[in-house]
Amino acid sequence: MIKRLLVMVLFSGVSTFANSATWYLLNMTTPKSVYFFDKDSLVVSGEMKSIWVQKINIDGKSKENSSKQKLNLFCRSKRYQVLNFINYDKQGSAIGSSSSAGAVEDVPPDTVIDELAKIVCDKKFPNDETSNDYHRVEDPEGTANLLKKDMKKK
């Protein structure tokens, strides 16, 4: 109980942190989700780069509306690790979280994590603003809602 409460208190800062973040839309989405990353959260330590990622579900079928994860990307070895995450319901309330780092795994090819790794591990990142692979957005939720409406039209 105390551990869960501590995790929730620690993650309560995630929401505040994310509101002051600089989110970028990742140009690789799925029919169910839209992905963003916070360029300002980038921390570089040797070959490892840490960054916050946000996934917003747009299919309307999931209990989980969105999630935020802090990832370590190991650029040279093409591996990654989820450091922690928090899941949110449609009202923005936290419905699950973990502060336990996951295993270091290979980046699967042709996936969202692969696309993110290509961007973040590029030597020009984060200084290159001309990439077609990501675009700054002021409001990730609003952007996801627009994409959701657009997908319904098709």
In Å, the largest CA–CA distance within the chain is 48
pTM of the model: 0.79
> Which pLDDT value is given to residue 62?
76
> Which pLDDT value is given to residue 107?
97
> Which pLDDT value is given to residue 23?
92
For tokens 């360029």, what's the residue? 39
Residue 113, phi then psi, degrees to nearest 5? -65, -35
Q: Considering only CA atoms, which of 62, 82, 72 is closest in space to residue 144?
A: 62
> Which pLDDT value is given to residue 151?
67
> Which pLDDT value is given to residue 30?
76
> Which pLDDT value is given to residue 128?
73
> Could you give all domains of the chain from N- to C-terminal order, each with its CATH number?
2-146 (2.40.128)
50 by Cβ neighbours in 10 Å (0-12 / 13-18 / 19+) ranks as middle
- Alpha-helical segments (H) within the chain: 2-19, 112-120, 140-153
Intervals of the chain under pLDDT 50: 1-19
> Which pLDDT value is given to residue 95?
93
48 by Cβ neighbours in 10 Å (0-12 / 13-18 / 19+) ranks as middle
Sign of CA dihedral 43, 44, 50, 55: positive
> Which pLDDT value is given to residue 148?
76
